[in-house]
Amino acid sequence: MDARRGPLAVPKVRRVGFFTSIEPSPDSPRPNRSLSGPAEAITTSSSPLSDSPSGQFISPVQIPPLRHRSDNLAAASRAAAPVPVPVPGPSAFRRQLASDRALHVGSYNPVDSLLGTSPPSSNGEVSEDSGSLFGFQRSDSAKLSASFPNGGFDMTMRVRAPQESEAKVVIASTSDGRKKNVEPSGTSEPVAATKPRKEKEQKSLKEKTSKAERRAIQEAQRAAKAAAKGEGSKRAGESSRAKPSKTAKQTQPKKDVPQVTSSLSEKRTVSVEKERRMDVPQAQMQYDDKSRVDKAKRRSVVEQTESKNKVELFLHLPQYERGNQLPNLSSNIFTLDTIHHAVYKVGLQHLAGDLSGDNSRCIAMLHAFQEAINDYTTPPMKDLTMDLTGKINGYVSFLIECRPLSMSMGNAIRFLKNQIRKLPVDLSEPEAKASLCSEIGRFIDEKIILADKVIVQHAVTKIRDGEVLLTYGFSCVVEMILLYAHEIGRKFRVVVVDSRPNLEGQKLLRRLVARGLDCTYTHINAVSYIMGEVTRVFLGASSIFSNGTLYSKVGTACVAMVANAFSVPVIVCCEAYKFHERVLLDSICSNELGDPDAIANVPLRTNTKHAKTMDNNKNLQFLNLMYDSTPAEYISMIVTDYGMIPPTSIPVIVREYRREDLLL
């Protein structure tokens, strides 16, 4: 123990905020220790975080991830031991330990302690993580690793399931470091045995477990699964399932890895998956929840590659490299049968960024659904309500893979599902389809198009002659307001504030100038200067939450706050279908990450040297947030289809008007 602590002489500085999650992890090679010892041993011997193989730092704001895999592993290995230990108890204990450990993050970095110092042999040590597995298997071949389950393995590595041989994102550093230390590490039978199925393929494994051992382990797994099921908790379910997760792959970067998945295990995965699906509550996907990500990935149509240098604080958000899937996907548009081609098209448009603006995205999606419903026929022996809902769910998850849904799209989908659910049972299929299509059409007409008209009528009353109106970015409803006010002869001036990298304001500017409005164009950097002459700020919205928080394009909060400091009224224009009953307090929990390259690459500056320093620099991450949240106190008024209301009245609207649409 002491020997291992030796190299810790230099304490790590506590790190907060944005830093590379992907360390050139020195720690990676965990010694494979065989049996998990008693729980106490874990606490004492294994240093905090030692179980996270890549030496990831859990950011202070992040809830330490529960390590299902390890639970499971421990349980399994324990069961494999002569004296089986009841599973739920220790695993629960484990979990607690894991969180305890997380508390130490930063002040003491155990990772170093493992750095090549101790020969991994130390017995009595608990290897409760797949790190050890990993090292062990790495010693053999890279191919092997492909089949290795690393579901709960590494938070920082979002590994996507390759359906074709596609270069997967892997953190080079981690794997390298791991490899280095692999050789000395002895293999541990029980751990290896936990994956007995895989061993069929792993012919090259140096050490093989005996048949009897394998059987024992299988038994143990089964027991663990049963116990987990009995527990009923989602977590337990996850842990039991995590093992068969095959598709999550750890591959060498830029190296095509053949998919090695036995059909047998796949089948089992599916069945377990099904059970799990029952108990999983519908919640927002947290992309640092490894097992769920894997699960989603397995079903995914689009293979997104994760971008590499991600910002620690936003690990829970999906971030993919842009654009490399597009040709691939567009080529098989007609071969894919699970996704309707209209939906597919919309998905691709989202992926490519052709569609922007919440309303147009939402309308495009609804039109696609309309088309899909029109072409839908209920399979024999199936119920339209159930089957169609399932279909829609499939479409929605496809769309999410392409680009995270906006709040308004979520609301529209809820509306649609609700309509499907409310269909009378005795309706014939064509009638049902027709009714759904007309309902969707009505939604578009009433909640979006008509709502915009009403908003324009309301908002125009707030534009007087001689005013200077400021708007930020591009919002179609704000554009309509400005054009209409101009049409009815108001004399006013417009300041269009824009920001990199999207420069959406230029689109608005072009349209306004073409119609003869008097415009000023500036970037957000100058907003504090320009605000002095402004009399009204008009903003669009992506969503407004129950506590009045405005969720809109990034930069909106800045504009609103500056306006507030200049006591300029901030008017937010938002259709009521975008209101959301959730409460949002910050911009971190719910957000979308854009393409980091977009902010890295400055147009007209093609300095290769410059580009070189930007790329592959571990100490540099680009954060391209798409949205931010503006607290309610910076908003003077919200113009919506139900009139002009203060931000405190959002819950009233949600309560009074949306009941019939959304909550039965």
Give the residues lining the site for other proteins (CB under 8 A).
Answer: 462, 464, 536, 569, 571, 636-637, 642-646, 648-649, 652-653, 656-657
Q: Which is nearer to other proteins, 579 or 627 (by Cβ)?
A: 579
Q: Which is nearer to other proteins, 337 or 465 (by Cβ)?
A: 465
Whole-angstrom distance, CA of residue 640 vs CA of residue 644: 6
Q: CB of 644: closest distance to other proteins in angstroms? A: 4
Closest CA to 57 of 95, 24, 33: 24
Which residue carries 């029952």 as its tokens? 278
Whole-angstrom distance, CA of residue 418 vs CA of residue 421: 5
Whole-angstrom distance, CA of residue 213 vs CA of residue 208: 10
Closest CA to 191 of 111, 263, 272, 135: 135
Q: CB of 462: closest distance to other proteins in angstroms? A: 6
Q: Which is nearer to other proteins, 396 or 459 (by Cβ)?
A: 459
Q: CB of 577: closest distance to other proteins in angstroms? A: 16
Between β-strands 570-573 and 637-640, what pairing exists: parallel, antiparallel or unpaired? parallel
Q: Which is nearer to other proteins, 67 or 578 (by Cβ)?
A: 578
Q: Are 609 and 616 in contact (CB under 8 A)?
A: no
- Which uninterrupted H or E stretch holds 182? helix 172-182
Whole-angstrom distance, CA of residue 88 vs CA of residue 232: 11
Q: Which is nearer to other proteins, 440 or 571 (by Cβ)?
A: 571
Q: Which is nearer to other proteins, 436 or 459 (by Cβ)?
A: 459
Whole-angstrom distance, CA of residue 351 vs CA of residue 315: 20
Q: Which is nearer to other proteins, 100 or 656 (by Cβ)?
A: 656
Q: CB of 569: closest distance to other proteins in angstroms? A: 4
∠ CA 169-145-217, nearest 5°, is 135
Tell me the helix, strand and coil percentages in the chain, rounded to 5. 50, 10, 45
Q: CB of 572: closest distance to other proteins in angstroms? A: 12
Q: Are 167 and 159 in contact (CB under 8 A)?
A: no
Q: Which is nearer to other proteins, 339 or 478 (by Cβ)?
A: 478
Q: Which is nearer to other proteins, 386 or 652 (by Cβ)?
A: 652
Q: CB of 364: closest distance to other proteins in angstroms? A: 31
Q: CB of 464: closest distance to other proteins in angstroms? A: 8
Q: CB of 359: closest distance to other proteins in angstroms? A: 23
Q: Is 377 exposed, middle or buried (0-12, 13-18, 19+ CB in 10 A)?
A: exposed
Which residue carries 């893979």 as its tokens? 401
Q: Are 193 and 80 in contact (CB under 8 A)?
A: yes
Q: Which is nearer to other proteins, 323 or 646 (by Cβ)?
A: 646
Q: Which is nearer to other proteins, 467 or 597 (by Cβ)?
A: 467
Give the residues across from 523 on adjacent strands: 498
How many contiguous H segments (helices) and E segments (strands) does the chain have? 28, 11
Cα atoms found within 13 Å of the Cα of residue 224, Cβ hemisphere only? 35
**Peptide linkage before 149 cis (omega within 30 of 0):** no
Residues with Cβ within 8 Å of residue 365, at least 6 apart in sequence: 343, 346, 399, 409, 412, 413
Q: CB of 478: closest distance to other proteins in angstroms? A: 16
Q: CB of 649: closest distance to other proteins in angstroms? A: 4
For residue 98, give the DSSP letter. Answer: H
Residues with Cβ within 8 Å of residue 225, at least 6 apart in sequence: 240, 272
Q: Which is nearer to other proteins, 346 or 531 (by Cβ)?
A: 531
Whole-angstrom distance, CA of residue 236 vs CA of residue 327: 40
Q: Which is nearer to other proteins, 390 or 643 (by Cβ)?
A: 643
Instruction: List Cα–Cα distances, 582 to 283, 390, 486, 593, 623, in angstroms.
Output: 12, 25, 37, 20, 25
Q: CB of 482: closest distance to other proteins in angstroms? A: 17
**What strands lie across the sheet with 536-539, from one edge to the other?**
518-523, 492-498, 467-472, 536-539, 570-573, 637-640, 643-645
Q: Are 533 and 497 in contact (CB under 8 A)?
A: no
Q: CB of 535: closest distance to other proteins in angstroms? A: 9
Q: CB of 231: closest distance to other proteins in angstroms? A: 44
Q: CB of 234: closest distance to other proteins in angstroms? A: 37
Closest CA to 160 of 276, 283, 57, 293: 293
Q: CB of 647: closest distance to other proteins in angstroms? A: 9
Q: Which is nearer to other proteins, 193 or 568 (by Cβ)?
A: 568
Q: CB of 467: closest distance to other proteins in angstroms? A: 11
**Quick check: helix, strand or coil at residue 578?**
helix
Q: Which is nearer to other proteins, 379 or 466 (by Cβ)?
A: 466
Q: Which is nearer to other proteins, 363 or 654 (by Cβ)?
A: 654
Instruction: List Cα–Cα distances, 294 to 152, 160, 238, 308, 417, in angstroms.
Output: 9, 7, 11, 17, 26
